[in-house]
Amino acid sequence: MRYQVLRPPYCYRWAALISAVLVTISLIISLSWSGAEGTPATPPPEAGQQIGAATTSSPPPAPGAPVRTTARPGRFVALTFDDGPDPAYTPQVLDLLARHGAVATFCMVGAQVRRHPELVELVVERGMRLCDHTVSHDEELAKRNEARISADITGARADLRLAADGDVPVPYFRAPGGNWSDTITAIASREGMTSLGWSVDSRDWTLPGAPAIVATVQQAVHPGAVILLHDGGGQRRQTVTALAELLPWLIAQGYQFDFPAT
């Protein structure tokens, strides 16, 4: 006896086929979404950027902190003199440096540069380096607006170049009182100057007496030190006297003289 195979009507067979197709599509969509979750989305191209072109590099880092070391490693020190030039003390400092074969960096105030341009020329002729110390020596400069800060910095550099009668390099900038801000360092960097700090404060600006100045430097000096001294901004006889003792002492300790790092 032959059994007859019962076949469902065509309408049921089409329904089963459609159901299978829908299930397959659902599985494909589900797999696609699960794979996309682990893949970071590619952002749309910015306006004006061609698809496939190289992406723009990240902005440069913010200017670094003021340098506080010598240009060369080892047993070197960098002498720096602030607030000049001064007709009474700057020539004496230069003579002492020449006598001991030393170099130094002079951080000059624009107002003083205008009064004594001949001293700027003398400093440059002696092989020293210049440092911009602003026009006004405003110790609250960090609190001023950007336009005021920029004018005080760029004005002093222009004064130095005019006094030196040429495009003399001014590789450093030092904030009055060492009062820095991000805006100050950014402007100095933009103008091509390295922000210059110090690692040894002689505290000669407190007028403690020459022996105290000598003792402070001797106790704090170390290889690579940048030493803060003053040749202007007031009475500096103590500094000159202390320098006359410090220079041969530093040489006896095996130190050589260098400029700050740039």
User: In 3-state terms, the chain is what percent helix, strand and coil (to 5)?
Assistant: 45, 15, 40
| E strand or H helix that includes residue 22 | helix 10-37
CA atoms of 153 and 161, how far apart (whole Å): 13
Contact 89, 232 (CB under 8 A): yes
Q: Which two tokens stand for residue 31?
A: 């797999």
| E strand or H helix that includes residue 21 | helix 10-37
Closest to 223 (Cα-Cα) out of 43, 36, 72, 1: 72
Q: What is the dihedral of CA 83, 87, 93, 98, to 10 degrees?
A: 130
CA atoms of 138 and 135, how far apart (whole Å): 8
- Residues in a beta bridge with 79: 104, 227
Angstrom distances, CA of residue 196 to CA of 52, 66, 104, 157, 216: 44, 5, 13, 15, 21
Query: Which residues does the annotation mark as catalytic?
Result: 82, 230
